[in-house]
Amino acid sequence: MKPFSPKPRQCKACPQTFVPVRPMQTVCSPRCAVKKVRQDKAEERAKVKTRKEKSLTPSQRRARAQVEVNAYVRLRDADLPCISCGRFHEGQWHAGHYRSRGAAINLALDPRNIHKQCQPCNTHLHGNAIAYRAGLVERYGLAFVEELEADNTPRHYTDADFDAIRDEYRAKTNQLKKERL
């Protein structure tokens, strides 16, 4: 076996060169060893995150986009009453769809079709569609509602589209939060 004859090396954590004491030594000091371990963990977390992002299905991406659109709508309509019953209350608020996601998937991510709705109207009354329509007519006018009801244009989203929608509405939500402070 050959004796260990160290040559100067570049530290993996800092720009300093050092002469190693052990054959597999890659860092110059214990402080740099801790720094290197943290860097390695951060790189591993980033790799895992990108793997998870790549493995998402279109329906998972749609669901993530829907969460951001709903959060935006609830914040956008925060000062308004329930679109269906017209009341304010201390309960839970939903982002209710006028045309349901099952009936009109093309409008599921369209904020014109989504408004703040109280939990009883959205859950117990299954969207309270008749009162919802009356509230839309009162708020926006009959032409708007008829245009929304007639919109059956298919929308084919790619994974990138879902991610762009999610990012767009996350940014809009953050902007609204800043404006309200």
pLDDT for position 96: 97
Tell me the CA distances in angstroms from 77 to 45, 66, 93, 172, one per residue in order: 37, 16, 10, 13
Taking only the tens place, the pLDDT of each residue in 97-125 is 999 999 999 999 999 999 999 999 999 99
Backbone angles phi, psi at 25, to 5 degrees: -70, 130
Q: Which amino acid is at 100?
A: S
Q: Which amino acid is at 110?
A: D
The residues, ordered by sequence, that sit 6+ positions from 56 with a Cβ below 8 Å of its Cβ are 64, 159
pLDDT for position 1: 67
User: Mind listing the pLDDT tens digit of every residue in the chain (181 residues)?
Assistant: 677 788 999 999 999 999 999 989 999 999 999 999 999 999 999 999 999 999 999 999 999 999 999 999 999 999 999 999 999 988 899 999 999 999 999 999 999 999 999 999 999 999 999 999 999 999 999 999 999 999 999 999 999 999 999 999 999 999 999 998 8
Residue positions counted in the chain: 181
pTM of structure: 0.80
Q: Taking the alpha carbons of 151, 121, 167, 176 in that order, is the dihedral positive or negative?
A: positive
